[in-house]
Amino acid sequence: MEEWHLYALLALVGPLVGALNTLAIGGSLLTVPILIFRGLPATVATGPNRIALLKQGIANVSGYRSKGKSIAGPFILYLSIIATLGTLIGSKLAIDINENTFNKVLAIVMVLTVEIMLLQPRIRIKDFEELISGKLQLWATVSFFFIGIYGGFIQAETGIYILLALSTINHLSLINRMSLKR
């Protein structure tokens, strides 16, 4: 692919990816393969997503908070700290792993993630109280540690696992899940 074709493709896909990641999930399933097909090693191709997701995350959190649609307090702090610790471990794994092994793991994980996105159970949370303390806080913390490892290692579509954990463990509303996803 000629250089200008790549830039044109990324210019077209970029806004779509930003919208997907802001409103839901799935943007990395577009950008990572494009960058890999362009010739970047998979370990490098996930890097630009991390920068874009950081910017999107800051904008998302600010937007949700400005509308009063965010859970505040210790719950976020616990999850953030433990996910950050997991992310450090995952990042170290990504740096130390053989590139061929990383490519195989990435391919498997991306296929499984698409399957989870398509087949995930539709959880109907009706009149459930949002549970963010006690044992469920502990389970959420443990799950966010492993989500952090995954995020540091692969990064692609970490949001699906965050949303899944927050809905199944803590019964958070869609608005609160989306506000914490970043």
Torsion of Cα atoms, 169 then 120 then 157 then 10, to 10°: -150
This prediction has a pTM of 0.70
**How does DSSP assign 24-64, residue by residue?**
SS-THHHHHHHHHHTT--HHHHTHHHHHHHHHHHHHHHHHH
DSSP H or E stretch at residue 148: helix 135-153
In angstroms, what is the C-alpha Rg of the chain?
17
Domain total of the chain = 1
Residues in the chain: 182
List per-residue pLDDT tens for the chain, 182 residues long. Answer: 567 777 787 788 777 777 776 666 667 777 777 877 778 887 777 776 666 666 666 676 677 677 766 665 677 777 888 888 998 898 888 888 888 898 888 888 878 877 776 776 555 555 455 566 677 778 888 988 999 898 888 877 787 788 788 777 777 766 666 666 65
The 10 Å Cβ neighbour count of residue 113 is 22
pLDDT tens profile 67-94: 766 665 677 777 888 888 998 898 888 8
Cβ count near 69 (within 10 Å): 13
User: What local confidence, expressed as pLDDT, does residue 181 receive?
Assistant: 60
C-beta separation of 32 from 13 below 8 A? no
Q: Do residues 1 and 135 touch, judged by C-beta distance below 8 A?
A: no
> Judging by beta carbons within 10 Å of its beta carbon (0-12, 13-18, 19+), is residue 148 exposed, middle or buried?
buried
Residue 13's domain spans which residues?
A: 3-180
Handedness of CA 65, 66, 68, 74 (dihedral sign): positive
Structure tokens at 168: 């199944």
pLDDT tens per residue across span 53-62: 666 666 766 7
